Amino acid sequence: MSFKIHFMGTPEFAVPVLKSINNSNHEVLTVYTQSPKKKARGQKIIESPIHQCANKLNIPVRFPKDINSDEEYNFIKNSKVDIVIVVAYGKILPSKILNLPNIKFINIHASLLPKWRGAAPIQRAIMNKDKETGISIMEIVKELDAGPVMKFVKTEIKKDTTYGNLSDKLSNLSASTILDCLSIIEKKKENFVPQNHTKATYAKKIDKSETKINWNDKAENIVAKINSLHPKPGCWFKLNNYRVKVLEAKEIEAQGKPGEIINNQFSIACSENAIQILYLKKEGKNSMSASNFIIGNKLKVGTNLNEL
């Protein structure tokens, strides 16, 4: 038995999942994604990663501005689809679509629900210094990420785990796990377990104001934030009116005034301990090691970044 599937997704995270389903015995009828956007410079139209992937796979693509329209309702209703699979689509499906009979609506969420419902679960898990995270395969309900869960897959978060490598890992886990779940559904052995809503936490979207490093914070919190926002959008500090993005850093046991460069290895004091910057990137320049950066910018021990 094979299922007819509509796939809904937008970012790179969803691409391995779409490829996995497309390479299985199931048929992807249509891909839904966010509308193409104009790039700021040159006004070039940029399609989402999922849109580009669907084009290569010769799968029809829809990118409605309003998923709640009668047109989309009727399209899904009349398409003889068995399952709709959603992976970071970026739009909330309305109740009238979710209530269509004989269609299962499945979502893959990058956290161990009910923890970190919402837009930025991977980043928030790292930022919060969680020891583990994972993916949840769940039924979609009206409330955000609140549906019963069919399957969890866990993975460890280490001190040097970044958003980039954890996102890739969870994406690949999702790609293999969804096939397992479809096989279980084929055999009619699926079991969706309700979440404990009293334990729900929310992963709000990353705000631009969060990306600036606050040297008055603890070193462990700063390192966690750097890792959680690497490679995009990145954490930065100001140096002579330039933004400098920190690409890699580690916590060390050392003391000093917050923001002060305390040694020649570009270690910067925080409210508790210090961080040693390993790699960074000055605005408009290539990435480089901290040692080369110090030499090139003539930074001296005792300089306080809070005062520049």
DSSP 8-state assignment for residue 142? S
Mean pLDDT throughout 6-10? 98
Q: Does position 242 have pLDDT exceeding 70, yes or no?
A: yes
Instruction: Out of 122-136, 143-157, 238-252, 282-296, pick the least confident.
Output: 282-296
Give CA–CA dist 32/6, Å, rounded: 7
Mean pLDDT throughout 194-214? 97
pLDDT band at 42 (very low <50, low <70, confident <90, very high): low
Model pLDDT, residue 296: 84
Mean pLDDT throughout 127-145? 97
Query: What is the residue whose two structure tokens read 């395969």?
Result: 137
Mean pLDDT throughout 97-120? 98
Strand partners, 38: 45
For the chain, the domains span 4-203, 208-307
Pairing of strands 132-139, 149-156: antiparallel
pLDDT band at 40 (very low <50, low <70, confident <90, very high): low
Give CA–CA dist 53/49, Å, rounded: 6
Q: Does position 41 have pLDDT exceeding 80, yes or no?
A: no
User: Has domain 208-307 been given CATH number 3.10.25.10?
Assistant: yes
For residues 223, 224, 228, 234, the Cα torsion angle rounded to the nearest 10 degrees is -30
Q: Which residues contact 244 (CB under 8 A, 6 or more apart)?
A: 236, 237, 238, 280, 281, 282, 283, 293
Mean pLDDT throughout 94-104? 97
pTM score: 0.95
Model pLDDT, residue 223: 98
DSSP 8-state assignment for residue 42? T
Q: What are the φ and ψ backbone dihedral angles of 6, each rounded to 5 degrees?
A: -100, 135
Q: What is the percent of the chain with per-residue pLDDT over 90, rounded to a whole number?
A: 90
Question: Which among 89, 85, 67 has a CA at the least distance from the CA of 24?
Answer: 85
Terminal CA-CA length for the chain: 66
Side chain identity at 41, as an amino acid letter? R
Q: CATH class for domain 4-203?
A: alpha beta
Q: Does position 248 have pLDDT exceeding 70, yes or no?
A: yes
Model pLDDT, residue 191: 98
Q: Which residues contact 286 (CB under 8 A, 6 or more apart)?
A: none
Q: Does position 1 have pLDDT exceeding 80, yes or no?
A: no
Q: Does position 194 have pLDDT exceeding 70, yes or no?
A: yes
What angle do the packed helices 15-22 and 49-56 form, to 10 degrees? 20
Distance of CA 63 to the CA centre of its chain: 21
Residue 307: count other Cβ atoms within 10 Å of its Cβ. 8
Helix ranges restricted to H, the chain: 15-22, 49-56, 70-77, 95-98, 121-127, 163-186, 219-228, 290-297
Q: Does position 255 have pLDDT exceeding 80, yes or no?
A: yes
